[in-house]
Structure formats: structure tokens, C-alpha cells
Structure 1
Amino acid sequence: MPSLNNTELLSTLSSTTPIVLTIAGSDSGGGAGIQADIKAISATGGYACSVLTALTAQNTQGVTAIYPISGEFVEQQLDAVFSDLNVIAVKIGMLSDSDVIHSVAKKIKQYKPQYLVVDPVMVATSGDLLLQSSAIESLKSELLPLADVITPNLPEAAALIGSKVPQNEDEMVAMINELRLLGAKSVLLKGGHLEDDSNSTDLFICADAVERLSMARIETRNTHGTGCTLSSAIASYLAQAHELQAAVTLGKHYITQAIIHADELNIGQGHGPVNHFFALNTKG
């Protein structure tokens, strides 16, 4: 059997390694943002690479400062990654302004990754605003129509379509048609904010169907980074050749387990992170 030279070997490896790019902001506390993305992608079997869009001074209690990164440097990072790595799936998280949104959309159109997951990050678990309101229209017009799936929570979905925040599942259902009009191939509407519900129910909205994904609600305050983690897990499963519906379902199961095991960690004095590596740390 003939041996492969270095170039052929690298080509073979790059074609089989599920490489996932996360484009997001940094969380200095390590529980959300690009740090959570890298953990989730790694824990679910992908290889994570990253492009930073903003730096935050942040911990489990809140965000005290945001330092934006220029669109020009975001583009330079994207060129560096895409020109060398065989990126299969991209997850997009925090984009702080219209300049960065435009730069990311431009490069996504140029490099055309196979899968795109957009988590329209606008508000942190602590309630801090992470996306300038003036940039929401840019997000809607330039990025969301490119996505295979977007993953808004209820406040984010309400901001995207200009409605009130749903207070029950019936009001979530009432958002379906307007969410479809955003142009993404599918929407995972996350119902975690319905805290009075004994279950955490998400609606996976496709062009011609809606699937209800429901798990028992876990009582914990350690939910920092749940949205980042879920969207990154979905991107990781897509990169591993799972169909979109299966990737969403697997992502839902993964984040549920990460929340179930969150209280095994003792991190910070506020909303602690989920346990990304629960499978490694589970005894027995």
C-alpha cells in the first residue's frame, strides 16, 4: 500500500476532522462566549477554531465592560482561518455592532461554509445588553437569511420581530410565522425563560413543520452560557454529518445534561456556568 506524502496526509485529515469555527465575543469568566463555545465543540466531538468579535470584562455576576474589535481585524481573522482550515460548520454568537456584522456576513458569503448556526446574542444571563440596538436590523438583513438555523431565546425572538416577550407556550406558537419571515432555513425558539413551566420546551421551526422539544426543567442558578453552549453543540453535530433535525435534538440533550451536572461545579458568586465536560467528570 503506497504511503501518503505530508500534503496528501494533511488533506486526508482535514477532510475527516469535524472542524467548527466559532465567531463570538470573549467571556473573561470562562462560562459563556467563545470560551463556552470551544468547550462545547470539544466535548461533543468537534475541533474548535475561533474568531473574536469583542472582548468583555465579565464574570458570573455580570458584564462590566465591552471592548469591540474592528471589522477589519475580524476579516483578517476569518481569512486566516478559512484559508488554511477545512471549516465545515460555523457558529456565530456575539456581534457587537453593524460594522462587525457586515464583515462577518461578507466573509460567510465569500467562503460559503457548509453549515451556519446563528445565536442572535443580545442579552447576557445577567441582563446586560450585548448587542447595540442599532445593529439588530443589520443582523436581520445580512446574516439571518444565510443561516441553517437560528437559536433565539424568548427576549431575543421578541426583539427580532418587534413583539412582546412570550409568557407561555401558546404565545411562543403565535411567533412562528413571523420568525419564519426572518429568512433562516429553520428556527430553534428556546423556551427556557418560561420559568413557571415545569418543562423547558423549545420549538424547532422549519418551513413546513414544527417539532416540540421538551425536557424537565432543572432547578439551578448555574445557567450562564446555556445559549452559547447549545448553539455550539448543534454546529459540532452538523460538522459530524448529522442531519439538521438530529443535530438540534442532540444539542438539546447535551445542554440538558450540562445543566443537570452544573451544580457539581463551584464557580463564582453569581450565575455559574453549565458543566460542559460532565461526561468526563461523571463517576462510575
Structure 2
Amino acid sequence: MFESGAAADRSSWALVQLRVARFARAIVYDRSGLGRSPVDPAGRTTDRMADDLGDLLDHFGPRPFILVGSSAGGPIIRLAASRRPERIAGLVLVDPSDEASDILLGKGFRTIEKISIPILIGLARLRMLKYMFGFLLNACPADVRADMEREAFEPRVFRTQRAQERTFLDEISAWRDNPLTLGEIPVTAISGGLTGDGMNAAARASANASHAHRAAQSPHGRHVVAEKSSHYVPITEPEIIVDEIERLGRNTPVRGFG
């Protein structure tokens, strides 16, 4: 089961999903307000997003799941896993947001988010974003590219991101004093190895240190660096994510893996 980043929908996983589908059932979905899912009038707290994921797991259960979350999707799958750890066979956190990063929780990052989201909404209205993110579109199969051009750069996507941003950092910051409990769940944290995609050297170092810390909290943890990627690992090095999913599947009793 795949959980996308803050402003990303199911299409962001296309290159990973196609490869995983060769050996396991691979499920992607759109959170409320993204892709083809309607806006949630009740808001977009991390708690509520984890509840939605939990409902989806109930629908496809009871088999154990490997959850894969990118960027802001990382905390969402960790929270969902902490609520029902017995049904989770492993987590793959792909360049995740993490409360262990001081830069992520700092005032500077919050200020950048407050400034950038209105700009993104304006650019979406002007239909300019597909040109700015052409490298993402060009990497995808034709059908996925068509979906992304139609759905991924609409103003409502960034309004949804703004709704998530209102509480997201405060929610995960609270986990510093009250850590989520994942028990024996194996955790792989994958970091980008390069700067870029909005991350300078200091931000990249802080993020990667937080990822290493997160992996170390698991008795079966692994920290993997995608050396050729910055933040968009599912697009630039999907095979690294696929390898970790397959490794977890082969080491745990999950039906559907070879």
C-alpha cells in the first residue's frame, strides 16, 4: 500500500507500482482532495489521514501489509502502523518528513511553506506547473502522464496541501515527547543522496540524519541512500524502493510474494 507526499497523488508511484506488481499486489490511492478523490470538508489532520489509510487497510485486509510512504506520507504510514502493528509486515519510508529533523520543525521551514503554497496555487491557475515539473511528466508512461497533466497541477491540490500544512508539523512535533510505538515492525528509511528539489546541503544533511535515526529505532531497521536522487526518489530511482519492498516481502509471511 502506497502513501503519497503532501501534494502528490497515486500517479507519483507509477514507476514503483508497475515493478512491484510483477511479484505482489500493489495498491495506490488518492487521499481526499488529491487526484480523483473529493475534498474532505472535515479537514486534513495527520490523525484523520491515518484514519483514512486505516479504513483502506480494513477494506483490503486482513493480510499483513507493507506500507510505503514518501515525504509527508512517511508520518502518515507510521501513525497508521502504530495503531494496528499486528497487520503491518514492514514500512518503507522514502525521503520522509521526520520529527527528528530540527530544520523541518524550525521557523524557517514553516515560513517557506506559508509563502510557497499561495505561489503554487497562483501558478496552478496560470497552468504553468506542468512546465516546471516536466521532468516528472517525462519519466512516466503515457497514460500516467495524461492523468498527471489532468489532475496533479490543479489549484485544489495545493489548497489541500495548505489544509494539511495547518496542523502537520505541530502534530509530528508532539511525537518527540510521545514517540509512536512500532514494536517489531521492520523499517527501511531511504534518503536522497543529492541536494535539490528545494533542499540545500544543510536541509539534506538534517533530513538524512533523521532518516538514519528513524531506521535505528527499529530492531530490523535499514537506512539506504539513493545516491542519484534528491527528493523525488520514486521517479529517479524507483528500483531502490522496489528492492526494499521485495526484501521485506521475502523476509516476512506476506501472501502474494514469491
TM-score (norm 1): 0.42
Higher helix share: 2
Higher strand share: 1
TM-score (norm 2): 0.45
Larger radius of gyration: 1
Higher relative contact order structure (alpha carbons within 8 Å, sequence separation ≥ 6): 2
